[in-house]
């Protein structure tokens, strides 16, 4: 029985999820052991991060709905505040994009960032923003 147990291989519980398939290197230089990549992987896979991004998307939608376009260069105080808040949203979405690219790789691996349709949409919107 002792020979069946490989000391180098961790024992996996019955019914546990297999570890995710990740690219060995992201962007050609960041290995799975790279501290920055490890932190990005942990952060983007953290469930509260998903909720934060969803609430940020909802907040951005509310701000877009409240914004009132005026003819020419006219505006009001609410619009001026909303234009500044839009930079906060842009920063959050850009940071999400960069962290996911570092964590998942850009496009070479089968589970890379740009191999997911939602991420392609996110990336396009962030680049346009």
Indicate if the pLDDT at residue 1 is higher than 70. no
pLDDT, tens only, 30-64: 888 889 999 999 999 999 999 999 999 999 999 99
The candidate with the shortest Cα–Cα distance to 49, out of 117, 102, 116, 95, is: 95
pLDDT, tens only, 16-32: 665 667 777 787 788 88
pLDDT, tens only, 55-90: 999 999 999 999 888 787 777 888 889 999 999 999
| DSSP letters for 56-93 | HHHHHHHHHHH----STT---HHHHHHHHHHHHHHHHH
């Amino acid at each position: 029985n002792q020979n069946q147990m490989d000391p180098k291989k961790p024992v996996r519980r019955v019914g546990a999820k297999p570890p995710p398939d990740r690219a060995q290197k992201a962007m050609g230089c960041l290995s799975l052991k790279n501290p920055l990549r490890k932190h990005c992987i942990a952060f983007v896979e953290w469930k509260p991060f998903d909720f934060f991004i969803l609430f940020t998307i909802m907040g951005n939608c509310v701000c877009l709905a409240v914004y009132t376009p005026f003819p020419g260069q006219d505006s009001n105080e609410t619009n001026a505040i909303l234009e500044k808040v839009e930079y906060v949203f842009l920063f959050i979405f850009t940071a999400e994009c960069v962290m996911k690219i570092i964590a998942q790789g850009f496009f070479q691996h089968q589970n890379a960032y740009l191999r997911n349709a939602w991420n392609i949409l996110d990336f396009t919107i962030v680049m346009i923003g």
